[in-house]
Structure formats: C-alpha cells, structure tokens
Amino acid sequence: MGAVVLLSGGMDSTIVLAWALRQYGRDFTHALSIDYGQRHARELEAAVRIAKHFRVSHRVASVRIDLAGSLVDAYDADLSRRANVSPDIVPMRNAILLSMAAGYAARAGADTVCIGACEMDVAGFPDCRPEFLSAAQHAFTLATGEPISIVAPLLAMGKGATVKLARELPGCWDALALSWTCYRGGEQPCGECSACVARADGFAHAGECDPAMTEEAAE
Ligand SMILES: [Zn+2]
C-alpha cells in the first residue's frame, strides 16, 4: 500500500503531494522527481525543497532518452496540427514519467501513483486525459503483475479550485511558496510565459495572493 507522487516542483504536483500526505500518511507516501534534462534546474531544486518541507521520502531519478531532446522539445507546428494538440506539448512525456513512477511504486511496495494533471492539461496533453490514465493503469497492472492505481486528484479542477484546495491542506500554502512554475529559469518567475500566466490566473480566481510572490520563503 501507499503512493508514489510525481513531484516536478511546480504548483500542481506540490498540491498533489500535500493531498497524498493527508490521504495516505507520511509513512506511505514517496515523492519522486525525474531529471529528464529540463531546460533549467529551478523546478528540480524546488522539488527538493518542497519534499524537505513536508519531511517526506524523496527520490530524484534521471532518464536520458536522446531522441533529439524528446522529453524536452515540443512538437513542431506541422506535426502538432496533424495530431490536433497544442504545439507546446512534449509527446509522451507524462506517459514516460508515469511508467517510471509505476516501476518505482512496484519496487517501493506502493499500489498508487499520483500525478498533478489538471483540467487545463487535459485540454492540451493527450497523455493527461482520463482515457489515457485509465488505459495506463490497466497496462501498468499487467506490466507489474500487481494492481496499481493512477490517481489524479486535480483532473477535474480548474486552477482556481486547486488554489482553494491548497488552502485546506496542511503545510501546502508554505510549500507553494517554494514551488517553481515558470518555463524560464531566471532568478524570479518571468510573469509572462503561459505557465506564469495560468498560475497567476488561478490565484486571482481564488481571490488569493501567490505565496511564492509574497514571501521570502522562495529563497
Ligand atoms: Zn514564466
């Protein structure tokens, strides 16, 4: 029993980690971050700080799949039009990260993998959609020989609702101050990229201020 939580260091996975800790307890929750050659280290550094903040077991694994930066680079515009997905998506990334988490879960004796896919991801990323998650759950159960569940607690939630959930979860607000969402790797979030804009929208919808923008805790 227990859960492996894919912790990118961003806002959604931070909220899911706090949710899992409440759901499964600290002894049965394992955070997993995956270094796949992200363009900057800010997210992974944030993941380390967030796991420390929650005092949860944390592993940073790495994967190097050198298919012309396949886990980092988005589709080219032509392909994305044909596949009917956003040009920003990275093909199969979530599918690969979920597979690694399922393997780690089998090793750690956990029967659940938690991912921070949210409503907005469902629109853009085919491997965040409920149909894929349920197919992957079936495939991983066959692959490991043990029942395994994929849980995406934010899947039906907009950003505003996730911010409200974060308010209710113990320790989550302080952890959000440590999280990193920006696609760029500057000293401070740029405030302009689509990730920064979506994050700011979420806090605005919930009528809250982003603790990462208001506290020194982000240091
Ligand atoms: Zn940004």
Q: What pLDDT digit, counting tens, does each position of 154-175 carry?
A: 999 988 999 999 999 999 999 9
Distance 154 CA to ligand 1 centre (A): 22
pTM for this prediction: 0.90
Q: What pLDDT digit, counting tens, does each position of 114-158 carry?
A: 999 988 888 778 899 999 999 999 999 999 999 999 999 999 998
**Block residue for tokens 């992957």:** 136
Here the tokens at position 27 are: 């002894």
Dihedrals φ, ψ of 26, to 5°? -65, -35
**Cα distance between residue 94 and residue 132, in whole Å:** 10
**Cα distance between residue 30 and residue 12, in whole Å:** 16
Distance 181 CA to ligand 1 centre (A): 7
pLDDT for 213 equals 87
Distance 188 CA to ligand 1 centre (A): 9
Distance 208 CA to ligand 1 centre (A): 19
Distance 43 CA to ligand 1 centre (A): 12
Residues in Cβ contact with 47 at an 8 Å cutoff, skipping those fewer than 6 apart = 7, 8, 9, 13, 31, 33, 58, 60
Distance 100 CA to ligand 1 centre (A): 27
Distance 213 CA to ligand 1 centre (A): 12
**Cα distance between residue 70 and residue 33, in whole Å:** 18
Distance 68 CA to ligand 1 centre (A): 24
Helix segments in the chain, DSSP class H: 11-24, 42-54, 77-83, 93-108, 119-124, 130-144, 159-168, 172-178, 194-206, 211-214
pLDDT for 72 equals 63
Distance 211 CA to ligand 1 centre (A): 16
Residues in Cβ contact with 25 at an 8 Å cutoff, skipping those fewer than 6 apart = none
Dihedrals φ, ψ of 165, to 5°? -60, -40
In contact, 101 and 113? CB cutoff 8 Å: yes
pLDDT for 83 equals 62
